Structure 1
Amino acid sequence: MLWSIISWIIVGGLAGWIASMIMGKNAQMGLVANVLAGVIGAFIVGLLVSLFTSEGGGMPEAFSIWGFVAAIIGAIIVIFIVSAIKGRGRSRV
């Protein structure tokens, strides 16, 4: 269990960093935000996969291609949502 958590933190950090570069937010995000975006994103995608698959397979292993891709996609979704929410708070002059 502990190894699984540690592995998702490592994969989440890498996935969050790649996602922040894809989204053009790397300069604004730090290490902690990258890890959080990757881990939360992987959780969201894992939840969606388990809801929409008949087998209920859940999230793939962290150190697999599909786990890494899922974490990147989820991190992109998280970064997009956070950016959209932050963008609403700014007033345009």
Structure 2
Amino acid sequence: MLGLGIIGWIIIGGLAGWIASKFMKTDAQQGILLNIVVGVVGGLLGGFLLAAVGVDVAGGGWFFSFFTCLAGACLLLYLVKLFTGRKSAH
């Protein structure tokens, strides 16, 4: 993911964070800036976890990076909800 540059990180992170917030039903509490942060941090988390199990994350490209960010963002939102005790809004 390092080859994408800062604009790529923002675009992929924002999109992944937004979709993850829809999956995890936290979209009502988040704005665009928090979606970007969740997506980028989720990408770091997902990349770290994949690298830890031996997956080559450096040469993945845009789609691999997006799905890594999406999975990491969902995991991050799940952990935040788990530790803060927040329930999803209906």
- TM-score band w.r.t. shorter chain: 0.7 to 0.9
Q: How many residues align?
A: 84
State the 1:4 CA deviation: 1.1
User: Structure 2 regions of 5+ residues with no counterpart?
Assistant: none
Higher normalized contact order (CA 8 Å, seq sep 6+, divided by chain length) = 2
State the 1:57 CA deviation: 2.1
State the 1:2 CA deviation: 9.0
Letter in 2 for 1:67: S
Q: Distance in 2 between matches of 1:70 and 1:83?
A: 20
Secondary structure of 2:57 counterpart: coil
Instruction: Summarize deviations over 1:6-36 as a string: whole Å, max 9, x none.
Output: 2111100000000000111111111111111
User: Structure 1 regions of 5+ residues with no counterpart?
Assistant: 89-93
| Residue 65 (structure 2) pairs with residue 70 (structure 1) | no
Q: Distance in 2 between matches of 1:84 and 1:26?
A: 16
The match for 1:80 is: 78
Letter in 2 for 1:33: L
After TM superposition, the structure 1 = structure 2 runs for residues 38-53 of structure 1, keeping only pairs within 5 Å, are: 38-53=39-54
Length-normalised TM-score, structure 2: 0.80
Letter in 1 for 2:27: N
Secondary structure of 1:58 counterpart: coil
* % identical aligned pairs: 36
The match for 2:21 is: 20
Secondary structure of 2:27 counterpart: coil
Secondary structure of 1:27 counterpart: helix
Instruction: Summarize deviations over 1:58-87 as a string: whole Å, max 9, x none.
Output: 3433xx221111111100011111112221
